[in-house]
Amino acid sequence: MILNNVTTLTGEGPVNIQIKNGKIIPVSGPATDAVQLTFDNALIFPGLVNSHDHLDFNLFPQLGDRIYNNYTEWGAYIHENYKEEISAVLKVPLTLRTSWGIFKNLLCGVTTVVNHGERLIINNPLINVEQYHSLHSVKFEKSWKIKLNNPLKRKLPVVIHVGEGSDRQSEQEIDELINWNLLNKKLIGVHGVAMTEKQAQKFEALIWCPASNYFLLNKTASADQLKNHTDILFGTDSTLTGNWNIWEHIRLARKTKMLTDNELYNSLQLNAAVTQTAANNKPAFVVAKKRKWETPFESFFSTDPADILLVVHDEHIRLFDEAMLGQLTGMDIREFSKIYINGACKYVQGDLPGLMKQVKEYYPEVIFPITSN
Ligand SMILES: [Zn+2]
């Protein structure tokens, strides 16, 4: 596949590049590739990694209407006050909810997502889906001490929500987890809002979900300090606590100035500690509109789903903007469906309108962030 006239994040360009064996290489000599696309003011970057989501929870609206001290308080509150909303969403079969979770990520240019919770069965996903040994949390996972110390899973890292709160209890919970890690397994903490620098040293990585944290707690992890002791990865969590659009989460994170632009970008990429173990991940690239007056990096951070022109995963086009249609005459587009994001028309692999229709049959009140006509 050849992509002409694209700018890289390091400012190279516009250049003509070739995607070959999962790598971006300069075009040399006459090209014979079947797919050749020429862009105008476009930026290319590797697909984003969302290190924390619950794929099956993305049909929920944000639930909660005040600031909570910790996740247990929030959990009890939503089960008490949003009973109907919760049961309405759970009427949708798991496979449909999971499919929407995958599309939610793909539409944003996320091509690797780490799913938290029970292992979901997903056939031929359009993006990489990673599922680790995950425990919910110290308070909500039954027999967590036994599961954490399961000798059969000794070598596997454990991903767990931890320190999701602004109170003393949340900080103590992190010590409890560390003290009970008897086999010295690699711990990957999610949230860590109450995490201290000393505690961070015991974690292989911290998955930072600032938008979810601000919504629940009006506070987030001290990523500016914790980054000196552990790897920071970026996560959105589900729409129960945040917007469907990861780019809004990224801009919120950037506003805190806790990470440099480079660090923030790296927290969204595959070089991070958790994903290093995922040797089966297929390489993926995104091409998005570049704002003429912005540097490539500035333009990257201004991106929104409507700006995405192309998503390539495993050397297959998964999504493209309507503007590219005229150049894709050789491609069979029958397996693509047409959707609109803020009026921008995209073609996405699979039957997304069909999925939306099916979801509506179980959950008529659903509001999707996209439309199909
Ligand atoms: Zn979570």
- pLDDT tens profile 45-67: 999 999 999 999 999 999 999 99
How far, in Å, from the CA of 233 to the mean position of ligand 1?
Answer: 14
For helices 210-217 and 246-256, the axis angle rounded to 10 degrees is 80
Helices (H), 218-260: 223-226, 246-256
How far, in Å, from the CA of 29 to the mean position of ligand 1?
Answer: 48
How far, in Å, from the CA of 254 to the mean position of ligand 1?
Answer: 21
- pLDDT tens profile 227-274: 999 999 999 999 999 999 999 999 999 999 999 999 999 999 875 555
As annotated, the residues of the chain forming the CATH 2.30.40 domain(s) are 2-46+283-337
How far, in Å, from the CA of 72 to the mean position of ligand 1?
Answer: 13
Helices (H), the chain: 71-81, 83-90, 94-107, 144-148, 168-179, 197-200, 210-217, 223-226, 246-256, 261-266, 296-301, 352-362
Confidence of residue 185 (pLDDT cuts 50, 70, 90): very high
How far, in Å, from the CA of 343 to the mean position of ligand 1?
Answer: 31
How far, in Å, from the CA of 57 to the mean position of ligand 1?
Answer: 10
How far, in Å, from the CA of 305 to the mean position of ligand 1?
Answer: 22
How far, in Å, from the CA of 309 to the mean position of ligand 1?
Answer: 30
How far, in Å, from the CA of 353 to the mean position of ligand 1?
Answer: 27
List the beta bridge partners of residue 348. Answer: 319, 337
How far, in Å, from the CA of 52 to the mean position of ligand 1?
Answer: 6
Please state, rounded to an integer, the average pLDDT across all residues of the chain.
93
pLDDT at 281 over 90: no
CATH number of 2-46+283-337: 2.30.40
> Which phi and psi angles does 134 have, rounded to 5°?
-120, 140
How far, in Å, from the CA of 365 to the mean position of ligand 1?
Answer: 24
Residue 137: CA count within 13 A, CB half-sphere? 18
Confidence of residue 154 (pLDDT cuts 50, 70, 90): confident
As annotated, the residues of the chain forming the CATH 3.20.20.140 domain(s) are 49-277
Q: C-alpha distances in angstroms, 250 versus 94, 209, 256?
A: 28, 9, 10
- pLDDT tens profile 20-35: 877 788 887 777 777 8
How far, in Å, from the CA of 109 to the mean position of ligand 1?
Answer: 20
Report the C-alpha gap between 193 and 204 in whole angstroms: 16
**pLDDT for position 53:** 97
Instruction: Look at domain 49-277 and name its CATH class.
Output: alpha beta
pTM of the model: 0.96
Report the C-alpha gap between 372 and 346 in whole angstroms: 10
Report the C-alpha gap between 166 and 255 in whole angstroms: 20
